[in-house]
Structure 1
Amino acid sequence: MTVTATPRPTGHPGYSQTFDRVPESARAARRLVRTALSAWHQDDLIDDALNVMTELVSNAVDHGRLPSIRVLVSRPSDGWIRLGVVDRSRVMPELRTDSNGDQIRGRGLFLVDALSDRWGTDLHRWGKTVWAELKVEVER
């Protein structure tokens, strides 16, 4: 699989890669996140970003329709890092705030909400991107 790095107006490249829609893709997605954050000297955000990406990929694996997903890591501005996963389902993610009984699954977006500064979903004609952003401490 090819990793794409695209120049951005912020001067930081955006990273993206297409993966099979299988649970094992979370490991490769975490590797992409670690590479990007290391390149941007944002090592203090790596642990939270890895956990967020794991949950975003897990949701896409569970709810996507086609056999692949696309993982995105970008810097929309100097102050933010955006992690996203694109899938071909238009079903909106749902943040569960209940305990969900004894079930282990179903609390991923609760973790995304807790670890990121903001998150959301962009609907497309053919699917959606679920994203989360982490605030970067900008040096002055």
Structure 2
Amino acid sequence: MARADLAAVPEARRDLRRLLRGWGRPGGAETAELLTSELVTNALVHTDDDAVLTAVVSPRGLRVEVRDFMARRPLLRAADPTDDTHGRGLVLVRSLADAWGVRPHRVGKSVWFELGAGAGR
């Protein structure tokens, strides 16, 4: 995804929707789509470089990873109640994903989440 190209967010959602067609209990694919759009948006808005989205469906569930090329780790913080647009993305990820985290790379990092196979039934 190109740097700061927020048009990539709906594209990523469409691609994930295609990947997850037929996957999941009611709401599972929608949760995956919401969390993916949060990670993609964060990568494009809060870094100065491109990002790479990887989504893998396996018998164990779904893993989505968004890699960017900035070493700065994302901050999980309470949202400012006076700001309707910022500070809630990682709180959503933490609340809705079965697991999530940040993996450092030699250059940059990946922020990832997993939804278990139970979310896919």
Quickly name the TM-score band, shorter chain normalised: 0.7 to 0.9
Tell me which residue corresponds to 2:105. 124
1:80 Cα deviation from its structure 2 partner: 2.2
Q: CA RMSD in A?
A: 1.8
Percent of residue pairs bearing the same amino acid type: 33
The number of aligned residues is: 116
Instruction: Tell me which of the two structures has the higher relative contact order, counting C-alpha pairs closer than 8 angstroms and 6 or more residues apart.
Output: 2
Name whichever structure is richer in helix by fraction. 2
Secondary structure of 2:95's aligned partner: helix
Aligned partners of 2:61 and 2:117 also within 8 Å:
yes
Aligned partners of 2:24 and 2:119 also within 8 Å:
no
Q: Structure 2 unaligned segments of length 5 or more: list them.
A: none
**Could you say which structure has the larger radius of gyration?**
1
Q: 4+ runs of 1 displaced by more than 2 Å?
A: none
Gap change, CA 1:20 and 1:138, over 3 Å in 2:
closer
Aligned partners of 1:65 and 1:89 also within 8 Å:
yes
Tell me which residue corresponds to 1:71. 53
1:48 Cα deviation from its structure 2 partner: 0.1
1:138 Cα deviation from its structure 2 partner: 9.0
Q: Structure 1 unaligned segments of length 5 or more: list them.
A: 1-18
C-alpha distance in 2, partners of 1:120/1:35? 25
Confirm or deny that 1:26 pairs with 2:6. no
Gap change, CA 1:137 and 1:65, over 3 Å in 2:
same
